[in-house]
């Protein structure tokens, strides 16, 4: 891929203390209005005109842009591979990384990169905006400025946040715990099952107890094998046998994230449980995830989930759908042993879920 590279001279009159790489994939933050009032991709070479306060951060900023900005609804596996590769290739050169990304699939991308960048020991901060950077009331400036500040923050020479995160509307969230919940308000993301890692106000207040600790001597590994022969099936009252069986019997399907009610409950009708059992026996990986924002699957708590556990459906605990489906793509491509696949699906790889007690 022929990336576009722009180096910003933000510290011309000072001694440069930090270096950050911005990866611009697309999204509202990087858009501006042209003379006709239409939104067009923004020229990052002129970003200092829009955010002159960048000069006060005393950092060297390099921007690598995808050849064509991508609407985040079009993000696919190759884009994840490209993002992870850019970080891997430039890992030793920069203190931290900021990924500018559309909000619609940001949680999916942040989740996937948390798995692909094994041994990550530097900040990778995803951010974006609900309004373009040229808009009068844009949230782009605050989101970008604070993301850059977090990306360079260190204590005793070590990064404060050595993991993949999402920063949006004053809140820093673990990337693989976040979910988009708003499309018309600035507080677009929530993390119901894991505490925020930081909140920005007059100062940035870090929740150190919830941040993954820096691991001395850890080497970054770039794992780029992914398998998208997976699907998400969201249950609803009245779902038919024909629909369920058609999904389970799709050619080439290897894994399914089953979005159930409440704490992991599903229809208890014989045809439904039997369909699940037959699919598992044929080797289909099925992970039970709650539809609730903030839900937690506890298989066996009610009779309606006890049968799922009995036939071999795995519990996803408190994992989000975004983290679950990307994790499934990742594990199915990197593991071949069925027992190991199931074991890893039910344990945290990058802090995306709590350790299961069952």
Nearest to 143 by CA among 125, 165, 168: 168
Do the bridges between strand 179-180 and strand 124-127 make them parallel or antiparallel, or are there none, so unpaired?
A: unpaired
Contact 269, 303 (CB under 8 A): no
Give catalytic status of residue 103 as yes or no. Answer: yes
CA 161 vs CA 138, 165, 171, 271: distances in Å: 26, 8, 13, 48
Task: Give me the catalytic one of 103, 105, 127, 304.
Answer: 103
3-state DSSP assignment of residue 162? coil
Going by the DSSP 8-state scheme, the letter that residue 265 receives in this structure is B
Q: Is 76 exposed, middle or buried (0-12, 13-18, 19+ CB in 10 A)?
A: exposed
Report residue 212 CA to chain centroid gap. Answer: 16
Residue linked to tokens 């722009």: 6
Do the bridges between strand 204-206 and strand 198-200 make them parallel or antiparallel, or are there none, so unpaired?
A: antiparallel
With residue 258 as reference, give the H or E element that holds it.
strand 255-260
The residues that are catalytic are: 103
């Amino acid at each position: 891929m022929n990336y576009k590279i722009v180096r910003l001279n933000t510290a011309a009159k000072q001694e440069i203390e930090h270096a950050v790489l911005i990866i611009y994939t697309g999204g509202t933050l990087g858009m501006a209005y042209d003379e006709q009032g239409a939104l067009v991709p923004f020229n990052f070479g002129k970003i200092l005109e829009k955010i002159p306060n960048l000069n006060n951060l005393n950092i060297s900023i390099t921007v690598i842009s995808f050849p064509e900005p991508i609407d985040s609804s079009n993000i696919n596996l190759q884009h994840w591979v490209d993002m992870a590769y850019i970080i891997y290739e430039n890992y030793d050169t920069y203190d931290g990384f900021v990924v500018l990304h559309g909000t619609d699939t940001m949680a999916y991308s942040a989740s996937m990169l948390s798995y692909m960048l094994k041994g990550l020991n530097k900040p990778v901060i995803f951010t974006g905006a609900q309004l373009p950077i040229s808009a009068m009331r844009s949230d782009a400036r605050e989101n970008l400025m604070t993301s850059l500040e977090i990306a360079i923050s260190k204590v005793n020479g070590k990064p404060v946040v050595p993991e993949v995160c999402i920063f949006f509307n004053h809140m820093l969230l673990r990337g693989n715990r976040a979910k988009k919940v708003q499309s018309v308000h600035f507080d677009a993301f929530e993390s119901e099952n894991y505490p925020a890692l930081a909140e920005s106000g007059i100062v940035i207040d870090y929740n150190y107890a919830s941040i993954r600790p820096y691991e001395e001597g850890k080497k970054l590994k770039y794992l780029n094998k992914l398998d998208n022969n997976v699907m998400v099936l969201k249950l609803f009252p009245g779902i038919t046998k024909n629909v369920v069986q058609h999904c389970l019997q799709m050619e080439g399907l290897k894994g399914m994230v089953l979005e159930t009610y409440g704490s992991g409950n599903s229809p208890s009708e014989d045809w439904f449980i039997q369909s699940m059992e037959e699919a598992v026996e044929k080797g289909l990986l099925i992970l039970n995830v709650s539809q609730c924002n903030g839900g937690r699957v506890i298989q066996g708590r009610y009779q309606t989930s006890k049968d799922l556990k009995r036939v071999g459906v795995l519990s996803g605990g408190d994992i989000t759908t975004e983290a679950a489906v990307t994790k499934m793509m990742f594990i199915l491509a990197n593991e071949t042993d069925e027992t190991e696949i199931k074991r890893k699906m039910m344990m945290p790889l990058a802090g995306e879920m709590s350790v299961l007690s069952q």
